[in-house]
Structure 1
Amino acid sequence: MSDSPIRHPAFRRLVAGASVSSLGSGVAPVALAFAVLDLGGDATDLGIVVGLYALADVAAVVFGGVLGDRLPRTVMMVGSSALAAVSQGVAAASLIGGWSSLPLLAAVGVVNGALGALGNPSSSAITPQTVPAALLARAIAWRRIGQNLGVVVGAGLAGLLVAWAGSGWALALDAASFAWAAACFARIHVPALPATVRTGLLGEVAAGFREVMRHTWLWVLIGQAMLYHLFYGGAQGVLGPIVVGRELGRPAWGYALSAMMVGFVVGGLLCTRWRPARPLYVGTWFLGLTAAFPLAMAWSDQLPVVLAGAFVHGFGLEVFSVGWDLSIQENVAPEKLSRVYSFDMIGSFIARPVGLALTGPVAAGVGFHAWLAVVGLVLAASVLAAVTVPDVRRLQRRDSEHAYA
């Protein structure tokens, strides 16, 4: 029997913990939204609670990258998951017990945002330590499939849990998912990384930044990701529910998001078998398919067209994401990997809140359909610009150990 990532115990435990944690993460936004409303809050209050979470996430992620390269990554993953289980458990208990408040939920959001930022760079960077180098591409694909399925199941359960048991019990499931993840991560045993040179927090952050800037393909595509989140974040989070809900009915928006998640899973399954020689270049072309969803919403009022656009968006984004993770993990020195991932996360998500805030006013001025078309064209143009970069075109996959250079 040929070797498989699943045959390696460390990888199985990583996938089990990450997938169950993703299930809880699929439940949490729905539970939190209804918890805020049940406490008398409105859309502004919910925006504040969610915004504080995002702000804490961005503020702490650099520290997560430095600590993930200083300490054993399992320590960061276990610690952040265990503490998140406690903090989310407090929020759940407060709702179930009837003593919750909006400030308490906001404070828990800040804590959980910071904890996620501290643990996520280590979680992303540890995959190469759990499997032989030749299995890394398939390991990345299978891990992403598990996490995407977790989100799908969690999102599907969320509404039922809130309706049947209440927001508090739904958040209790999220707390339990963090505890499960911590237990799985605690059983991961991987070889230690080379010791890093301690130059102080700012020095180590600067070293991570220099590593990003050393690879042209890396900083170019982080910049492209900023454009993606700046434009597409508002298209999905603000305009999509309005346009699709108004023209096709509110259930249609749920169907569209489900179709996108199916695209993620199908794209991941393809990547478990397909091994292009230039995964970053090929993946970047597939990233151009993300333009299909906003363009479908802009130009069609037919449900099959919107669903097809959503599916193609998820499919293309997943093929790119696997090639992106593989390229980072094969070409960045292991002792700098967490810091590089922290800059990737900052670059990817710092623009999203800005896009969410600006989309409504801008789209109101130019028209919702016109702005969705602009979003689709910007996504396509940014991909066409990225594939002209020589380093993006030439980067080859590497299957040997010590592949970073």
Structure 2
Amino acid sequence: MNLSVAEAALPAAEPVMRRPSLAGRTRAGLAEALAEIGVPEKERRMRVGQLWNWIYHYGVRDFQEMTTIGKGLRAQLAEHFTLDLPEVTAEQVSTDGTRKWLLRMAPTGPRDRGAEIECVYIPEVDRGTLCVSSQVGCTLTCTFCHTGTQRLVRNLTTEEIVTQLMVARDRLGDFPNRSAPEGAFVPNDGGRFISNIVFMGMGEPLYNFDGVRDAIGVISDDQGLSLGRRRITVSTSGVVPQIGPLGGEMGTMLAISLHAVRDELRNELVPLNKKYPIKDLLEACRNYPGLSNAKRITFEYVMLKGVNDSDAEARELVRLLKGIPAKINLIPFNPWPGTRYECSDWERIERFSEIVFKAGYASPVRTPRGRDILAACGQLKSETEKLSARARLMLEQDEAEAATVAH
């Protein structure tokens, strides 16, 4: 479903400050909520456990469904809090089954209409992967990435990261006793729709370290959403000082957006490289906690025609990664309006992959998914952003005209 300019241009109603939601909160956050409504300290741990089970395992949206909690406390909770999730303002389904949701977060203040972000569900034969965002916009300016052309608004909170998974499970019928929507991908092994999460959406996760860390704690808790940390991958463009802490505190899989084998080119493609050059980045990778053949680092390499796809660059890539347990994920470039780059020819991609593979590295070519709905790698929050910009311009013009008439 696409938003039209006319729809986007309609002035939004003044936001109404709502009761805060408990969805997405950590255990400590739930305990604080219980303290606010006077639940005795000696009861809180038990009550947190009950809430956790209902919110994260069963995905309930009404306190009255929490039958293991007394009616009095349920009424108190409903009076002061909600279980609301971010609003799905648009859903698009690709011809390949990929689903993209535009989510509006709850307002954070009286003048805030709610930040918008996107997340993407990618169904495959052996897994279902959810690509989540960690920031509103992006702090980086990678020249091949459409998301990187949009300014950073703010970091997402822990709750806003966790609830992306909750929205996806809700929409897919992936909570117990929920029905899947028509046309949804159904795992053939009876497992859950979403088996893996990748922090590869909008933003640089390691520039929102605390929010991402705490969200992973909620997502991986085995009494709730229960996604193992080996099924969670955090992708970074190379925030070197935070790579070690990522492995030490989160223990997730690591992906590096590399895309070039020379600092001169990487400075252009990934400007963060000027601060943390390839040598420093790879040294941090060699020291990543828990690194082994069973816990390899994924190096992402977007294939840009005539830019980074030569045989010589494939051989240099192999040389650079020597001694690092790794796989190299080759990504056909996903074009977007206004870009100066083109995707490498398929024969060139295959030749590049062959060189890497013969050197002993797995080098899968990522199948482009969701291109028709701008849900592929590097395309998130693009068309929506442009529509919002048009709407803001039209609204500003209307306000200016109204002010002129008033005077």
TM surpasses 0.5: no
State TM-score, norm by structure 2: 0.23
* Higher relative contact order, structure no. (Cα contacts within 8 Å, ≥ 6 residues apart): 1
The structure carrying a bigger helix percent of its residues is: 1
The structure carrying a bigger strand percent of its residues is: 2
The structure with more radius of gyration: 2
State TM-score, norm by structure 1: 0.24
